[in-house]
């Protein structure tokens, strides 16, 4: 195993118990510590930790593996870069000059550390060790050789989350979906998770990942896209959500600038011609009378030919 000082791959399937916290070790070489591939202690993500010759290298993932489903983990080190893969996709990586420490008395253990701490509390399958760094495509092949892997869904960033009723009340929804099994076809279903708001949303096609949503009432909407890969057992658990707030229009949203007369007009209230700030304010009151009076005076001044009425 001396080759581990230079390159390695640790890989395997993990199905971690969702109810308990703490580390869940898939496989590691410990006591003294050399490296480990595990679930993090305080988050739902995975990590690949290496003991270098001067410092530890922590490759901390971002994808949750604590959802009750099987996930494939792989940690590779090619002498320059340590990479953590989750379900065949790179989840995190660290560039390093460290060499993995190889302690002669350390032992490899699956499902916990050599001293039986950090134990898995879950299940492991097809755990493998290589004395070289597998390529991304080789890791994807390992995943495809296993049982069904669940899909992944992320609603794309940049979708507007603040709308104004009547003006911009439709958004285009889209998501990035991925399934480690290339033969699986992903279907998505959009729903509104707050049922009292559901009657006020219409989706262009609720069964398309990319579609539109149109809102007819002001309020806060939580839209969920659940994905399914056509295999048994997902039951709507795999989803992402976006919160969209639809605001009532304020007066400034209603006004239209009229280039011909050179001022803002209120197309919904023809009598609203003025306000405290010199433009329509969506009220008909004394300000509008003042504007009318000023215009009347202007247009009844025989010396003024620039009447704007």
H-helix or E-strand containing 144?
Answer: helix 136-145
Question: Judged by CB, which is closer to Ca ion: 106, or 181?
Answer: 181
H or E element at residue 298: helix 286-299
* 179 touches Ca ion by CB under 5 A: yes
Chain-centroid distance of CA 55 in Å reads: 32
Closest CA to 52 of 104, 101, 103: 101
Nearest-angstrom CA–CA distance, 60 and 169: 39
Binding-site member from 88, 111, 188, 275 for Ca ion (CB under 5 A)? 275
Query: CB-wise, 204 or 230, nearer to Ca ion?
Result: 230
- Select the span of 76-84, 195-203, 228-236, 240-248 touching Ca ion (CB under 5 A): 228-236
Kindly tell me which of 99 and 251 has the beta carbon lying closer to Ca ion: 251
Which CB sits closer to Ca ion, 3 or 236?
A: 236
| CB 228 to Ca ion: min, Å | 9
β-partners of residue 222 are 243
Kindly state the number of chain residues that form the binding site for Ca ion, as judged by CB under 5 A. 10
Integer distance in angstroms from the first to the last C-alpha of the chain? 93
Q: In whole angstroms, what is the distance from residue 87 CA to residue 235 CA?
A: 19
Q: Are strands 81-86 and 170-173 parallel, antiparallel or unpaired?
A: unpaired
272 is an interface residue for Ca ion by CB under 5 A: yes
What span, in angstroms and rounded, lies between the C-alpha atoms of 22 and 41? Answer: 4
Closest CA to 37 of 105, 134, 151, 148: 134
Least distance (Å) between residue 151 CB and Ca ion: 6
Q: Is 12 in the site for Ca ion (CB under 5 A)?
A: no
**Does the footprint of Ca ion cover residue 184 (CB under 5 A)?**
yes
Stretch that binds Ca ion, among 132-140, 182-190, 252-260, 300-308 (CB under 5 A): 182-190
Q: Is 295 in the site for Ca ion (CB under 5 A)?
A: no
Check binding of 240 to Ca ion (CB under 5 A). Answer: no
Q: Which residue of 60, 144, 148, 174 would you call a contact of Ca ion, by CB under 5 A? A: 148
229 contacts Ca ion (rule: CB under 5 A): yes
In sequence order, which residues have a C-beta less than 8 Å from that of residue 226 and are 6 or more positions away? 153, 188, 189, 191, 236, 237, 238, 239
Which lies closer to Ca ion via its Cβ, residue 47 or residue 281?
Answer: 281
Name the residues that contact Ca ion, by CB under 5 A: 148, 179, 181, 184, 229, 272, 275, 281, 283, 288
């Amino acid at each position: 195993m001396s080759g581990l000082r230079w390159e390695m791959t640790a890989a395997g399937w993990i199905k971690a118990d969702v109810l308990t916290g703490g580390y869940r070790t898939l496989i590691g070489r410990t006591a003294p510590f050399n490296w480990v591939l595990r679930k993090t202690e305080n988050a739902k993500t995975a990590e690949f930790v290496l003991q270098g010759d001067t410092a530890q290298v922590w490759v901390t993932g971002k994808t949750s593996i604590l959802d009750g489903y099987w996930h494939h983990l792989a940690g590779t080190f090619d002498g320059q870069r340590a990479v953590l893969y989750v379900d065949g996709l790179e989840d995190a990586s660290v560039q390093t000059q460290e060499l993995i420490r190889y302690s002669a008395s350390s032992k490899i253990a699956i499902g916990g550390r050599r001293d039986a701490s950090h134990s898995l509390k879950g299940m492991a399958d097809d755990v493998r060790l290589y004395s070289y760094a597998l390529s991304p495509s080789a890791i994807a092949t390992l995943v495809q050789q296993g049982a069904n892997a669940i899909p992944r869904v992320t609603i794309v960033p940049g979708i507007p989350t603040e709308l104004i009723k009547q003006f911009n009340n439709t958004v285009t929804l889209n998501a990035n979906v991925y399934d480690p099994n290339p033969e699986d076809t992903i279907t998505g279903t959009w729903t509104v998770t707050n049922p009292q708001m559901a009657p006020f949303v219409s989706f262009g096609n609720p069964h398309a990942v990319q579609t539109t949503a149109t809102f007819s009432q002001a309020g806060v909407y939580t839209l969920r896209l659940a994905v399914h890969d056509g295999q048994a057992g997902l039951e709507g658990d795999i989803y992402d959500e976006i919160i969209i707030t639809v605001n009532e229009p304020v007066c400034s949203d209603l006004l239209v600038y009229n280039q011909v007369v050179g001022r803002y007009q209120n197309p919904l209230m023809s009598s609203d011609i003025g306000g405290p700030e010199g433009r329509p304010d969506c009220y008909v009151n004394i300000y509008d009378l003042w504007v009318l009076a000023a215009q009347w005076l202007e247009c009844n001044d025989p010396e003024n030919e620039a009447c704007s009425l």
